[in-house]
Amino acid sequence: MCVLAIYPGSFDPITLGHLDVIERGCRLFDQVVVAVLRNPNKKPLFTVAERLEQIRISTLHLSNIEVDSFDGLTVNYARMRQAKILLRGLRVLSDFELELQMAHTNKTLSDQVETVFLATSTEYGFISSSLVKEIARFGGTVDHLVPSHVALDIYRCYAKIQPVSALIADSPGQDPTVTDRIGETPPDHET
């Protein structure tokens, strides 16, 4: 029997922490589908197409992986793919509450799907996509947090929006919201 696991998320953008979960998931399961949620309620930094491409490039070294996007409920996508496992990473204790709530919610929606948590490797326990964006937005280096091609995408993206020095000069003491991208909705919870 081929065991297929779905690893759902926003991946805006993929981080080294996500990649760690993907690589370890690929060793545990026959096939891992990294599934990017198309979420109309969030204003992401990268489009779904850009995120899919970033994940594809980051996972070229893995053979039992697929990268896909989905709408709506994760359990419906899992059902459609005939997958019985949802894979999620756990970094710190504060993740646990929401992740457990999601796992319980998903269980009420489908008792066919089990959530499997992987403890993120200690060196990546502090990384989140929102943290990466915040650092880059204010001119910091993110090369140690995301795959190198993703770091370049992020730098390019923020440079296009407006150089950080210009933002500071334009609106001292204010949170810059100059374009759609920079005005992205801060997520409640982002891995």
> What residues are labeled active site?
18, 42, 91, 129
Residue whose C-alpha is closest to residue 10's, from 97, 102, 80:
102
Q: Which amino acid does the sequence have at 91?
A: R
Tokens of residue 86, six digits? 């949802």
By rule CB under 6 A, what string of x and - marks binding of each residue 13-52 to ligand PNS?
A: ------------------------x---------------
Give the max Cα distance, the chain: 60
Using the contact rule CB under 6 A, the part of the chain among 6-14, 53-61, 152-160, 164-172 near ligand PNS is 6-14
- Chain position whose Cβ is nearest to ligand PNS: 9
Decide whether 72 or 163 has the Cβ nearer to ligand PNS: 72
d(CA 158, CA 170): 16
Tokens linked to 33:
């589908």
User: Which of positions 101-120 make contact with ligand PNS (CB under 6 A)?
Assistant: 102, 105-106
Q: Is residue 86 classed as helix, strand or coil in its secondary structure?
A: strand
Residues lying near ligand PNS in the complex (CB under 6 A) are found at: 8-10, 37, 73-74, 102, 105-106, 189-191
